[in-house]
Amino acid sequence: MDSAQVIPRHQTAISRQQLSKPIALAVADGILSANSTLFDYGCGRGGDVTRLQAMGYAAHGWDPGHSPNAERRAADVVNLGYVINVIEDPTERARTLASAWALARQVLIVAARPDWEARTVTGHHHGDGIITKRGTFQKFYNQEELRNWINVQLHTDCIAAAPGVFYVFRQDADAQTFLASRTRHRLLPTSRPRRRQALYDAHREDLDALAAFITARGRLPAPEEAPGTADRLLRVFPSLRQAAATLRNITGHQDWDKDLEQARNQAEHDLLVYLALSSFRGRPKASELPKGIALDVRMLFGSYRKACSKADALLHGIADQRHLNNACSASKIGKLTADALYVHVTAVQALDPLLRVYEGCARALTGSVAECTIVKFSRMMTKVSYLSYPDFDTTPHPALTASLRADLRMLNVKLTDFRRSTNPPILHRKETFVPLDYLGRDKFVRLTKQEERAGLLLESATIGTRAGWEQRLQDRGYRLDGHRLIRTATATAPASLRSK
């Protein structure tokens, strides 16, 4: 009997209350834009298609079990989300991937269940997967296994979007543009015009857009990089350089020059990080660079060869654990311990370029980790961990819910789940992890000072866990009300200990 008839694949389709992970990622990453068409290959019950249509996207889908009569059509973006993992026949699995790829004009999204989810499913072995208690098939992939399988089947180089999710670009220029966007620092202009000028007031929106581009890229845009804005400004100014000069005059030369220097330095770092990481897929030739990146190279470094030489030096530094350790030790951002540097995810792009490449190598392996709060840079081994503290902002001592570790030597990804732990690790001194301008940092600082004065943060292995910390509070006669420390009526610890 045909195994496809025995194994009820259609029963694996689930009803969701929100967009699936690969579709939500594609929207967040700009892979799926308002002008894109999407086809969901193996759409299950069609929840993603319905939600995207309601959001205004041109989306359609087909599913052999739930929508077998729908047309299979080409689209800019094709989603093959959690389909290959339910196909028990390896040959059919590869054929399905090829069929979906044939319909993708720009990008194919491939998602499958990661190997750590296997521990949550019971069943018996069947082929290279398992038959679950419901009679359905599931194959679980480790990250590199899934990457290599896609690359071999499609003769291409896919890009990790997230654990278990990969993007396959039709054109390498689009892949390079996406990779560069991942390394670009989102820096908003800090200086604003300090005095009114009729010319600025009349063209405020376009001049602000020009300032934002300059601050983000450290250079003027080519007219085609900002077509609407440039067209309108060039009707008023002889050139975009003259428009920028107007901004400089009304902002104040000193403030503008300071912002421009900061933007240029940041843009240089962003470009070096991108070029270093692009080596993993085969760095493109100068002639193959997307125009925007080619302009960045010329304006910031003068030549592609010079930029690549500096990028190579960064990449080579990752192979030397001493260099990594020194960069961690010298970092002015983050909390340094004996074995690692811990940095809030919002501050990673402000780190030394070597550490950014270190983290970028891990992200090339894992893809983006949406739930990440803290990035842990190991000083002893080439490992980067993405730590999840969902209540970081609202809870004074948030508990760790998950750790996703990327081992750069072994090329594997491991998830440790703490959600069911009765005594999970917790954080102290939250202000040490975040940048100085982080919203809420002041209250983190105040709480730490209160806890230091109360002697609560004296070194002890036990206060690093929830139970140990709660016992310390009880012993010293304190409780927490939000980010405020409150003295209780009595303490259970000896008076000599409480007075310390």
Neighbours of 274 (CB within 10 A): 24
pLDDT for 69 equals: 93
The mean pLDDT value for 465-470 works out to 95
pLDDT for 494 equals: 47
Confidence of residue 198 (pLDDT cuts 50, 70, 90): confident
pLDDT for 496 equals: 41
Question: What confidence tens digit (pLDDT) does each residue in 280-306 have?
Answer: 888 999 999 999 999 999 999 999 999
Sequence-ordered list of residues with C-beta below 8 angstroms from that of 357, at least 6 positions apart, any chain: 273, 276, 277, 314, 315, 317, 318
Cα 104–chain centre separation: 24
Q: What percent of the chain has pLDDT over 70?
A: 92
Euclidean distance between CA atoms 321 and 323, whole angstroms: 5
Euclidean distance between CA atoms 131 and 430, whole angstroms: 45
Domain ranges in the chain are: 3-170, 323-430, 435-498
Cα 43–chain centre separation: 25
Q: Are 29 and 66 in contact (CB under 8 A)?
A: no
The yes-or-no verdict on residue 394 having pLDDT over 90 is: yes
Euclidean distance between CA atoms 27 and 125, whole angstroms: 36
The mean pLDDT value for 252-273 works out to 89
Sequence-ordered list of residues with C-beta below 8 angstroms from that of 340, at least 6 positions apart, any chain: 328, 376, 377, 378, 379, 380
Strands 340-344 vs 137-138: parallel, antiparallel or unpaired: unpaired
pLDDT for 432 equals: 97
pLDDT for 108 equals: 98
pLDDT for 12 equals: 59
Confidence of residue 191 (pLDDT cuts 50, 70, 90): low
Where does residue 352 rank: exposed (0-12), middle (13-18), buried (19+ CB within 10 A)? Answer: middle
Average pLDDT, the chain: 90
Q: What percent of the chain has pLDDT over 90?
A: 73
Tokens 């470094």, residue located = 301
The mean pLDDT value for 110-130 works out to 90
Question: What confidence tens digit (pLDDT) does each residue in 316-339 have?
Answer: 999 899 999 999 999 999 999 999
Euclidean distance between CA atoms 294 and 288, whole angstroms: 9
Q: Are 206 and 245 in contact (CB under 8 A)?
A: no
End-to-end CA distance of the chain: 77
pLDDT for 45 equals: 86
Name the residue with higher pLDDT: 447 or 218: 447
Confidence of residue 16 (pLDDT cuts 50, 70, 90): low
Nearest to 140 by CA among 84, 97, 92: 84
AA letter at 216: A
Euclidean distance between CA atoms 162 and 20, whole angstroms: 13
The yes-or-no verdict on residue 109 having pLDDT over 80 is: yes
Euclidean distance between CA atoms 431 and 443, whole angstroms: 9
pLDDT for 495 equals: 44
Confidence of residue 5 (pLDDT cuts 50, 70, 90): very low
AA letter at 209: A
Choice among 340-349, 365-374, 451-460, 479-488 with the minimum mean pLDDT: 451-460
pLDDT for 116 equals: 93
Choice among 243-252, 394-403, 480-489 with the minimum mean pLDDT: 243-252
Confidence of residue 497 (pLDDT cuts 50, 70, 90): very low
Where does residue 118 rank: exposed (0-12), middle (13-18), buried (19+ CB within 10 A)? Answer: middle
pLDDT for 252 equals: 81
pLDDT for 459 equals: 76
The mean pLDDT value for 19-25 works out to 93
pLDDT for 186 equals: 58
For domain 3-170, the question of CATH label 2.40.70.10 is answered with no
The yes-or-no verdict on residue 162 having pLDDT over 50 is: yes
Choice among 71-85, 163-177, 207-221 with the minimum mean pLDDT: 207-221
Helix 204-217 crosses helix 253-278 at what angle (to 10 degrees)? Answer: 50
pLDDT for 259 equals: 84
Cα 492–chain centre separation: 45
